[in-house]
Amino acid sequence: MPNRPTFATTAESVDRGVFEIEYGLEAASGHQNINGLLKWGALRTLELRFSNNPVQRDAGVAGTGDSGAGFKYKIISQSKTLPTFSILYTAAIPTAPASRGAGAVGHSIQLLASKDFGKHHLDVNEGVQFVGRRGASGFDRNYFTALSYSYPFTRKWGITGELAGFSRTNAATPATMTVLESVTFSPSPRLVLDAGGYFAAYGHLPRFTFTAGVTYAIADLYHPRGKNKK
């Protein structure tokens, strides 16, 4: 199930052996980027992840952005009564200059829950983020909450809505909250296109940010096409 274009992350993971990519763009006043996420189902319960912003532009200054690496581990698969529960860990890697990125290593860990009610899908995330301090030791801390809803109103078209926010990190980074709406189109089971945007309910964010992107399951690395089955 694709993560794009929301801040929330589904507790479900890509199938074992499947390599999937998500790439998109954001465009707002004073901020634009191209963002990517690579995912691989190493095991049935373990998804390895790497993210990167190959292009980022803030206040007219452009270049590469930060990166991230981590994993998603599925604890429980959903049943009739229980949702899927997973743990998501991400290490923030400061690959961009401090003027465009965090400028320090950081860590985040989230508890993810996902449940299907017929065609209706809900994702709930709760997490904590440890933000490295530029030029100093230690971490600042914030808390993250997200609620995401999606519904396929036809075989190929769907909608997504989300409410997400971070608590206050430090004196320079106040709390933020965003409200997101988007439309998805899936021309094939392996390909999902999305377009929409999110509004800043409060915080130091652009009033509106446009988003668009693509999610594509490239291949099953454990069962490549053309390999003879025994």
The residue with tokens 């809900």 is 122
Residue for token pair 């690959």 = 95
Beta strands (DSSP E) in the chain are 18-28, 31-41, 46-58, 61-63, 67-76, 84-93, 106-117, 120-132, 139-151, 157-166, 176-188, 191-202, 208-220
Helix (H/G/I), strand (E/B), else coil: 108: strand
Residues paired with residue 178 on neighbouring β-strands, in sequence order: 164, 200
String of DSSP letters for 180-193: EEEEEEEEETTEEE
- pTM (predicted TM-score): 0.92
Q: What is the pLDDT along the chain (230 residues), one digit of tens a residue?
A: 667 889 999 999 999 999 999 999 999 999 999 999 999 999 999 999 999 999 999 877 888 999 999 999 999 999 999 999 999 999 999 998 877 778 899 999 999 999 999 999 999 999 999 999 988 889 999 999 999 999 999 999 999 999 999 999 999 899 999 999 999 999 999 999 999 999 999 999 999 999 999 999 999 999 887 554 44
Query: Distance (Å, rounded) from C-alpha 14 to C-alpha 130?
Result: 27
